[in-house]
Chain A
Amino acid sequence: MQQHPKGIWRFFMVNPNGIEFKVSARHALFTDPLTKIGGEKCSYHIPTYEALKGITKSIYWKPTLIWVIDEVRVMKRIRTQTKGTKPLDYGGGNTLAIYTFLADVEYQVRAHFEWNLHRPELKDDRIPAKHLAIAQRMVERGGRQDVFLGTRDCQGYVESCVFGEGDSPYDVEGELAFGLVFHGFDYPDETGESKLHARFWQPTMFNGRVTFKRPEDCTVRKYVRDMGIKKFGDQNLRGVEAEAAELED
């Protein structure tokens, strides 16, 4: 196992701008896209990059930065559980479906942020120490927004942790492959082109750890549709100095 230095310095040595956290929940549903369109959702056995990115964004996010997930560690044995569900129809009424969830999940996640270079208007906000300090505070407080694993039905909890600490039942299990799995979406505001793509990759879990490919390294892409970029600027953003000045008045 990789030895980490202790204390705050380890973040800078392992990965500057990095945070580590533990997320746990009674259920998780990282929907396999094949089963998504029919409505009988069935979960992948491991979390997708996009789901973990979403969790990290729930902890803390500003348009200035992009979260990159480095690694996830599966801390509990993968169990599935099916539930009969009653999804509501948009037009009224309901339908019946069987969802297959992961039950009793816990993951350790290592992530770091990078600047979103497609937002030059937010250049002044690129202050690493500030964002890192907020992010770490938010990990300790369990995140800013609701945390859910894959699907909105699966609420989860975030705690701070040291990545790699504790035992996982997969510590000595060797390698496990999952075939072609959804990685994440290329959103226009992070890629700069006004198209939405879905990315795929072939993950393998080695001794309970999945090391994620960086989004730009994924070669399998599927064009989804055209999409615009949301603009941030003077209209919907406000500097913290202005906010503070107003509060003092």
Chain B
Amino acid sequence: MSWIHKLYETYEQCQGRDMAGEAQLLPVSHAQQQAHIEIALDAQGGFKTARLINKIETYIPATEQSAGRVGTKPPPHPLCDKLQYCALDYPLHGGKKPSFFNEYEGLLNAWCSSEFAHSKAQAVLRYVHGGTLITDLVDAGILHVDANDNLLTRWTGSGPAPELFRMLTPNAGERDQGDAFVRWQVWEQGNPCTAVWEDTSLQKAWAWFDASTKTLKGLCMVTGVGETALAENHPKRIRHAGDGAKLISANDSSGYTFRGRFTDKTGLQACGVGYEVTQKAHNALRWLIHRQAYRNDDQVIVTWAVAGKDVPDPFQDSLALFLSAEEISQADTQSPPTNVGDVGQAFSLRLNRAIAGYRAKLAPTDDVVVLGLDSATPGRMAISFYRELKSSNFFERLQTWHRRSAWMQNFGANRQFIGAPSPRDVAEAAFGRRVDEKLRKSTVERLLPCIIDGQRLPRDLMNSTVRRATNRVGMAHWEWEKTLGIACALFNSYFHERDYQMTLETDRLSRDYLYGRLLALAEHIESRAIYLGGEKRDTTAAKLMQRFADRPASTWRTIELALTPAKSRLRAKQAGFLHKMEVLHDGIVASFQGDDFLDDRKLTGEFLLGYHCQRRELNSPKVDAIASTTEEAIAN
């Protein structure tokens, strides 16, 4: 089904079901604005009280034109608007800006005299007809005037500037109080809902009226219903408040983007979408992006269940997935089981439980949608990725991704875990921390099908990460550790059918794996000797790691020769340790098959796995703790 139809469905399913305190779905024919002043009226339209509010985001009724208003003659909002629009007496008090009261009053009047009139709107209309708005607000101490009863544009009185002056945006040092945005409360007898922005009956009444004014009728290409009111403009501000990019826009009065077979400039020949559909779909998209999207610059990728339930973000690493899963299913927060054989098993169990937590909330046939947005220019937005999956499929793929790409990760003191890295971390591991934004975007995008469609990892990404993990000289220690973990994870994912274990496999006899183990051993011996000698320097093994990866057999000779002084030192001080190491060394060398040990060809990423596992095996878990679960798992 098309993306816009899915969004529309999501709106229909989630409307009215959102929790208090969370971002709400915007009603149709409404817009969001920051209000400065709240005015309370009685049911007859008499002024009661007014107060300053600190730029609270408010849902206000809006027309299609006013929602996207710009320019010198901006169209008015019908109910809540700036003083410049609402106040008849704004020019009388020396208002610097043009008054748009007539337009405002005309629109509100049209609504109030239609069959869709609402009592609250009528009260507001009666009040603004009185023309005392500015006077009332001055009396209430909210607006400030000078001796001639003109509105101040800068604070001249003594003491600190009043609050309103601090809220308004200055233009060349002047703040026009006519810019203050008003929202209304109407106190009606027996109606506890006084706020116009919370009154759903008012919202509906406005939406009906707004729909009744639509003259453009035609086929909606989303629902297939003919003779519906069509949208002339599609909403913007999709990704954030300052976002001017539109998903649907006709952008062609002079070029030939779509013209040819179609001859009009508006794009209505080529495309028509129902007003209600586009409003709801865009509102749903905005809401989803705000709640749960992965965002990186202009790129937004949002994953959601049409039924409105929680779904795991495919852009998290496994740790974040576990934490968020444990958050949503609080019932299931007992400590992870400790009596499991190896690290991989503990991880699988945790992963299964995390996914099961999400799975339980969704029926297997519920739809999950992944939508990627990006824009090349500020004015337009493109759909860069779109997938619909059944939730069972989605969870299966996500689980597969996390399982296949799992490795022991060390992202710093508090971020040690077993699992898959996030796409963002993969991009950094493959191309460095200062990766170009475009490259980062496209890398994330290339990883999407690997997660969502279960495709194999791109080989170049894996290779690049392995190469960087090998070249440890250029990186800080923590960064190298992180890259190493990710490189192992990616290699593991790429060759998942080889079934690498997350513990040392002494029975794996491939050349690369064994060479990796040898390198870890050499590093371990030398670093112990360095420690005993009270020195601080890199080991030869660490320094030569890259050369070792390119020419293992010949480099191993250099590394082994460099071990001689270290061994002498250890023989004097820790003979037992040295003996153990030498036995291990002989064991590894003896495991090489045929001429493997003499083979000087380049090593593949597999040697990193051997290296990493051997290193973990040598260093006690206390020193190289991965996660508490792991420690326990190994202890058992």
The answer to whether A33 touches B270, judged by C-beta atoms less than 8 angstroms apart, is yes
Tally of chain A residues near chain B (CB < 8 A): 41
For A89, the chain B residues whose CB sits under 8 A away are 254-255
- Give Cα A200 to B250, complex, Å: 21
Q: Kindly list chain B residues whose C-beta atoms are within 8 Å of the C-beta of A41.
A: 382
Contacts of B385 in A (CB 8 A): 80, 82, 100
Interface residues in A143-185 by Cβ distance below 8 A to B read: 177-182, 185
Question: Is A91 part of the binding interface, using a Cβ–Cβ cutoff of 8 Å?
Answer: yes
In the complex, B269 has a CB within 8 A of chain A: yes
Count of residues in B whose CB is under 8 Å from the partner chain: 48
Whether A40 pairs with B273 at a CB distance below 8 angstroms is no
Closest CB in chain A relative to B519 CB, distance in Å: 39
User: Cβ of A39: which chain B residues have Cβ within 8 Å of it?
Assistant: 251-252, 257-258, 380
Query: Contact at B1–A98, with CB atoms within 8 Å?
Result: no
B375 near A: Cβ within 8 Å? yes
A37 in complex: contacting residue of B1, B271, B384, B445, CB < 8 Å: B271
Within 8 A of B (CB), among A27-62: 32-42
Task: Decide: A98 and B382 in contact? CB cutoff 8 A.
Answer: yes
Please state if B386 and A96 are interface contacts (CB–CB under 8 Å).
Answer: no
- Identify B382's interface contact among A87, A99, A222, CB under 8 A: A99
Q: Tell yes or no: A213 within 8 A of B by CB.
A: no
B383 within 8 A of A: yes
Residue of A nearest to B278 (CB): A34
* Chain B positions within 8 Å of A182 at CB level: 221
A96, B377: Cβ atoms closer than 8 Å: yes
CB of A97 within 8 Å of the partner chain: yes
Is A224 in contact with B219, judged by CB distance below 8 angstroms? no
Interface 1/0s, chain A 85-107, versus B by CB < 8 A? 00101110001111110000000
B385, closest chain A residue (CB): A80
Interface residues of A in 1-45 (CB under 8 A from B): 32-42
A39-B251, A40-B381, A177-B1 known; 16 other A-B pairs, CB under 8 Å? A36-B270, A39-B252, A40-B375, A87-B257, A90-B254, A95-B377, A98-B384, A99-B382, A179-B1, A182-B221, A200-B221, A200-B224, A220-B226, A221-B219, A224-B269, A224-B270
Q: Pick the interface stretch among B33-41, B198-206, B241-249.
A: B241-249
Q: Judge if B562 is at the interface, Cβ distance under 8 Å.
A: no
Given contacts A91-B255, A222-B272, contact A35 B221 (CB under 8 A): no
A-B pairs, top 5 by smallest CB distance, nearest first, are A179-B1, A40-B382, A37-B267, A98-B382, A96-B376
| Residues of B that sit less than 8 Å from A by CB | 1-2, 4-5, 218-219, 221-224, 226, 246-252, 254-258, 261-264, 267, 269-273, 374-377, 380-386, 445, 449, 453, 455
Contact residues in A for B380 (Cβ distance below 8 Å): 38-40, 97
B394 to chain A, nearest CB (A): 15
A224 to B2, CA, bound (A): 22
- When distances are taken between beta carbons in the complex, the residues of chain A under 8 Å from B269 are 224-225
Q: Are B377 and A34 in contact (CB under 8 A)?
A: no
CB distance from B499 to the nearest CB of A (A): 24
CA distance A120 to B256 in the complex (A): 35
Known A79-B449, A178-B1, A225-B263; judge A37-B250 contact (CB<8 A). Answer: yes
A-B contact pairs, 23 of them (CB 8 A): A34-B222, A37-B251, A37-B257, A37-B270, A38-B246, A38-B380, A39-B257, A40-B383, A82-B384, A91-B255, A96-B377, A97-B380, A100-B385, A100-B386, A178-B1, A178-B2, A200-B219, A202-B224, A220-B226, A222-B219, A222-B221, A224-B270, A225-B264
Minimal Cβ-Cβ distance residue in B for A45: B386
- Min C-beta distance of A188 to chain B, whole Å: 12
A39-B252, A178-B1 in contact; A82/B258 too (CB < 8 A)? no
A residues less than 8 Å from B4 (CB atoms): 34
Instruction: Mark out the residues of chain A between 172 and 213 whose CB falls within 8 Å of any chain B CB in the assembled complex.
Output: 177-182, 185, 196, 200, 202
Residues of B within 8 A of A37 (CB): 248-252, 257-258, 267, 270-271
Given contacts A79-B449, A90-B256, A224-B269, contact A42 B222 (CB under 8 A): no
B224 to chain A, nearest CB (A): 5
A239 at the interface (CB under 8 A from B): no
Shortest CB distance B264–A (Å): 8
Closest to A36 in B: B258
The answer to whether A33 touches B255, judged by C-beta atoms less than 8 angstroms apart, is no
A33 to B1, CA, bound (A): 14
Contacting residues, chain B, for A95 (C-beta < 8 A): 255, 377
Within 8 Å by CB of B386, from A36, A40, A42, A79, lies A42
Q: Pick the residue among B224, B248, B255, B261 that contacts A34 (CB under 8 A).
A: B248
Q: State which of B257, B270, B383 has its C-beta within 8 Å of the C-beta of A100.
A: B383
Q: Closest Cβ of chain B: how far from A97's Cβ, in Å? A: 6
**Nearest neighbor of B376 in chain A, beta-carbon distance:** A96
Write the nearest CB–CB distance from A28 to chain B, whole angstroms.
15
Complex contact B247–A97 (CB within 8 A): no
Smallest CB-CB separation from A178: which chain B residue?
A: B1
Residue of B nearest to A201 (CB): B224
| Contact between chains at A32 and B262 (CB < 8 Å) | no
Q: Roughly how many angstroms separate A90 CA and B382 CA in the complex, as a whole number?
A: 21
Q: Are A179 and B2 in contact (CB under 8 A)?
A: yes
Cα distance, A210 to B5, chains bound together (Å): 21
Identity of the chain A residue whose Cβ is nearest the Cβ of B254 in the assembled complex: A91
Residue of A nearest to B377 (CB): A96
Separation of A13 and B219 alpha carbons in the complex (Å): 40
Could you tell me the distance in whole angstroms from the C-beta of A220 to the nearest C-beta in chain B? 5
Which B residues are CB-close (under 8 A) to A36? 257-258, 270-271
Indicate the member of B221, B249, B272, B386 with the most A CB atoms within 10 Å.
B221
CB-CB nearest in chain B for A187:
B261
Contact B374 A82 (CB under 8 A): yes
Residues of A within 8 A of B383 (CB): 35, 40, 42, 100
Q: How far is the CA of A220 from the CA of B255 in the complex (A)?
A: 30
From the candidates A38, A100, A181, name the one contacting B250 in the complex (CB within 8 A).
A38
Inter-chain CA distance A39–B249, complex, in Å, is 9
Q: Which of A91, A96, A180, A185 has a CB less than 8 Å from the CB of B5?
A: A180
Contacts of A221 in B (CB 8 A): 219
B54 to chain A, nearest CB (A): 37
